[in-house]
Amino acid sequence: MSRFLILLGSVILFSCVESLEQERESSSPTLILPEISRTLRVTDFPQPERNPLTEEGVILGKKLFFDPKLSANGKVSCATCHQPEIAFTDGEALGDFGVSGNPLKRHSPPLFNLAWNTTGLFWDGGANDLESLNFGPLTHKDEMAADLDDIVAYLSQDKDYPQLFEAAFGKIPIQSAYISRAISQYSRTLISQDSKYDQWKKEEVDLTSIELQGYSIYLNNCASCHQEGLFTDLSFHNNGLDLDYPNPPELEGLYQGRYRISYNPKDMGAYKTPSLRNIMITAPYMHDGRFQTIEEVLNHYESGIQVNASLAPSLQNGIKLSTEDRQALISFLNTLTDEKFISKHAIQN
């Protein structure tokens, strides 16, 4: 008899648990994992445990990314300085599209393959993850100049956002953390892996002989820092742009590069190696956009390097290329432009 009761009890208990789980499933967001091309040469899709990619989170994040109402004057969105049609950069050396109209002190970087930027984001790697980074551009007076409490108030009173937040994160009040998490999720879906180079590596197309020649010039001269796959070593190097680094206290070490984060003298004037993917559509170049063309970049590596105490050892003697080799290298760099990525993320409407 007592056994029967226990059995009955556990059956009832079981069915309760099951229905609870079903309920949870139906209301919880759908986890997704993007498809990753082997040509990126990565083994997994890194993301913080607290903010895994979900369908609902990405939808919300995309809406936030393109919403100028997040800014103090209602006119500046993330996409103002990260335009999809030029691989999410803005084409300016130091953009002045922010709320204050003042030019920025850093060049707006293109956005793609961010999930693998696990060594720190921003040119100096100061942001540990996208979730922490987003508060920078959202609140900086020369960017979106937002008050986070104002954003929360706007989103909470909007007709669409509360539902989208609930779908992505459950029934909780909208808070700054979740705004940033959604934007981070969308940003991690920006994956550039369909260039001609990728198709070639997958043996779907051939490279021309000049492109192939450029590929070997790349391997011999550029690949140690711009490592094949992501086309960056995700590390920080001083590439001989400057001899000294002014340090006005109010800029908190801005001109010192990675040193302002690590306080390691070897990092003085060092910045993160940018990816060469989409390089031909993301001019100007360097952390401050000082070089307008790829020719200027190659000139710098050939004869413009300022030898200084923290210079990357591999750049001591510069990189000298014949005119012909330069042309070949540029032909190869053109194969890294990812039209599919551009059209996939172009603003539809």
Partner 1 sequence: MKLFNYTVLALVIGFSSCNNDDEIPEMMTTAIQFENTLNGKDLVLNSSTFTLPSGEAFTPKKFKYYISNVALINSKTGIEYLEPDSYHLINSETNIGIDLGMIPSSNYDQIRFSIGVDAEANAKTDQTGDLDPNSDMAWSWNSGYKFVLLEGEFVHAQTKERTGLVLHIGRNQNYKTITQPISGIQAGKPAIITLTTKVDELFLNPNALKVSELPSTTIMGGELADRIGENYAEGFVSIK
Hey, which residues between 178 and 237 contact partner 1 (CB under 8 A)?
178, 180-181, 184
What residues are paired with 31 via a beta bridge?
A: 54
Site string for partner 1, 115-154 (x = CB under 8 A): -------x-x-xxxx-xxxxxx--xx------xxx--x--
**Paired tokens of 192:** 């550039």
- 252: three-class secondary structure by DSSP: coil
Cis peptide upstream of residue 284 (ω within 30 degrees of 0): yes
Residue 248 Cβ, how far from partner 1 at the closest point, in Å?
9
Nearer to partner 1, 51 or 337 (CB): 51
- Minimum CB distance to partner 1 smaller for 82 or for 260: 260
Taking the complex as a whole, the smallest distance from the CB of residue 1 to partner 1 amounts, in Å, to: 38
For position 267 contacting partner 1 by CB under 8 A, the verdict is no
Q: Which of 218, 331, 271, 254 is nearest to 109 (CA)?
A: 271
How far is it, in rounded angstroms, from Cα 290 to Cα 296?
9
3-state secondary structure of 272: strand
* CB-based contact 112:275 (threshold 8 Å): yes
Q: Which is nearer to partner 1, 3 or 50 (CB)?
A: 50
Number of residues that bind partner 1 (CB under 8 A): 35
What is the chain's percent helix, strand, coil content, to nearest 5?
45, 5, 50
Q: How far is the CB of 129 from partner 1 (least distance, A)?
A: 6
Instruction: State the chain's maximal CA–CA distance in angstroms.
Output: 94
* Gap between the terminal Cα atoms of the chain: 69
Beta-carbon-side half-sphere exposure of residue 102 (alpha carbons within 13 Å): 10
Per-residue binding string, partner 1, 48-67, x by CB under 8 A, is x-xx----------------
Map residues 244-263 to x or -, x wherever contact with partner 1 holds by CB under 8 A: -----xx-xx------xx-x
Would you tell me which residues interact with partner 1 (CB under 8 A)?
48, 50-51, 122, 124, 126-129, 131-136, 139-140, 147-149, 152, 175-178, 180-181, 184, 249-250, 252-253, 260-261, 263
